[in-house]
Amino acid sequence: MVRFGVLGTGRIAHDFVSSFKNVNGSEIVSVGSRNKADAQKFAEEHNIPNYGTYDELVSDKHVDVVYIATPHSTHCANTLLALNANKHVLCEKTFAMNTKQAKEMVETAKNKNLFIMEANWMLCFPLIQKTLQMVKEGVIGDVQMLHASLGFNSEGRELDLKMGGGSLLACGIYPITFATVLFGAAPSEIQASGSLAHNGADEQVSITLTYNECRHDGSIKKKIAILSSSFCSWIPSDAVIIGSKGTIRINDLFVCPNKITISVMGRPDNVIEEPFPVNDSKFNFPNSQGLSYEADHVAKCIQGGLKESYLVPTELTLRNMNIIDRVREIIGLKFDEDSC
């Protein structure tokens, strides 16, 4: 049995806890809030036995792992709070405001011999793993390109620069993650273009990552990922992996899919569907019942004594953070944390 504590009582905290109807052998035992009354309300709503402040949550002896469900700008401090209280950590995406913070979080977990993982739930979906497996098996030949985008028309807290708001950290992290798992290495070239809102937060970003691969004759083959995120439009939120023999489309929303379409030249399309876990809870975000895959994975890792996830390793998180830092530099997206 792995016992989760939830830090923060916002929208994703609600969805994560509700997904536990489909989680076996783990439970939510405590919740922490900046305001104890909010923690109590959340605990009552979700039948959670313990509640308190963040400090009380991380020092609760019943808690094994703390799920950080707060805005980006608070991930580093909240993660360090939990690690320093000897709790394992599952921290929401995007993991940190920059690589410097991310390294400190990962180093602290390592020094304390604790588990740490970015809550990049996309990689825990069965159809995402199936897609990656098919690519590896060469179903669509040699992968040449990736097209992936995610976004919606947003406003309010999600565009608050002080909290790491904007489409890049909220949505762009997923297309970037997909490119990183698909192409394996760090990109040899990063190009980007972005539009900033009046407060300096990004409204939409387009990124081209180029990966150099050495051919047998020593020449360079360039593989390309074309990625975008948006908070000012209903951009198509799918991903297409383009290979020498065909494509795999991960249907909208590609970060939490229940359908993929495999098109191989000369053959009829093959559609694979994987129904979501059945859960009648009311969720804030689409397909959040699939957060149970992530919770199950974390529990399995912790029970197995792992200090890292094999689906979302810290190396992947740090590689993504490096890409995000460079994209921010190119488009002029600045956070206060950059000067700390």
Ligand X SMILES: O=C1OC[C@@H](O)[C@H](O)[C@H]1O
Nearest distance in Å: CB 32, ligand NDP: 7
Contact characters 128-157, ligand NDP, x per CB under 6 A: -----------------------------x
Nearest distance in Å: CB 119, ligand NDP: 6
Contact between 94 and 158 (Cβ < 8 Å): no
Edge-to-edge strands, sheet with 202-214:
189-196, 202-214, 220-230, 143-151, 239-243, 246-250, 259-264, 270-273
User: Half-sphere exposure of residue 278, counting CA atoms within 13 Å on the CB side?
Assistant: 0
Q: Which of 321, 333, 332, 339 is nearest to 97 (CA)?
A: 321
DSSP 304: T
- 78 vs 247, which CB is nearer to ligand NDP? 78
Structure tokens, 60: 């609760």
Give the separation between CA 177 and CA 94, rounded to whole angstroms: 10
Q: Which of the stretches 65-73, 220-228, 274-282, 299-307 binds ligand NDP when contact is defined by CB under 6 A?
A: 65-73
Nearest distance in Å: CB 256, ligand X: 6
Under rule CB under 6 A, residue 286 binds ligand X:
yes
Which residue of 27, 38, 252, 274 would you call a contact of ligand NDP, by CB under 6 A? 38
Residue nearest to ligand X (CB): 285
Structure tokens, 165: 């708001």
Nearest distance in Å: CB 276, ligand NDP: 13
Under rule CB under 6 A, residue 310 binds ligand X:
no
Burial classification of residue 199, based on how many CB atoms lie within 10 Å of its CB (0-12 exposed, 13-18 middle, 19 or more buried): exposed
Which residue of 35, 84, 188, 193 would you call a contact of ligand NDP, by CB under 6 A? 35
Edge-to-edge strands, sheet with 65-68:
50-52, 26-32, 2-7, 65-68, 88-92, 116-119
Among ligand X, ligand NDP, none, what binds residue 286 when CB lies within 5 to 8 Å by partner kind? ligand X
Under rule CB under 6 A, residue 285 binds ligand NDP:
yes
Under rule CB under 6 A, residue 298 binds ligand X:
no
Under rule CB under 6 A, residue 9 binds ligand NDP:
yes
Nearest distance in Å: CB 212, ligand NDP: 31
Give the separation between CA 307 and CA 172, rounded to whole angstroms: 26
Spatial CB neighbours of 201, under 8 Å, sequence gap ≥ 6: 159, 160, 161, 165, 166, 333
Which residues from 225-284 bind ligand X, rule CB under 6 A? Answer: 253, 255
- 72 vs 147, which CB is nearer to ligand X? 72
The radius of gyration of the chain from alpha carbons, rounded to an integer in Å, stands at 20
Which residue of 88, 93, 249, 297 would you call a contact of ligand NDP, by CB under 6 A? 93
Under rule CB under 6 A, residue 39 binds ligand X:
no
Contact between 73 and 337 (Cβ < 8 Å): yes
Beta bridge partners of 96: none
Output phi, psi for 266, to 5 deg: 85, 0
Nearest distance in Å: CB 190, ligand NDP: 22
How many residues can be counted in the chain? 340
What number of other Cβ atoms are within 10 A of residue 217's Cβ? 5
Number of residues that bind ligand X (CB under 6 A): 6
Contact characters 181-220, ligand NDP, x per CB under 6 A: ----------------------------------------
User: Footprint of ligand NDP on this chain (CB under 6 A)?
Assistant: 8-12, 33-35, 38, 69-72, 74, 92-93, 119, 121, 157, 163, 170, 285
- Residues of the shown chain interacting with ligand X in the complex, contacts defined by CB under 6 A: 170-171, 253, 255, 285-286
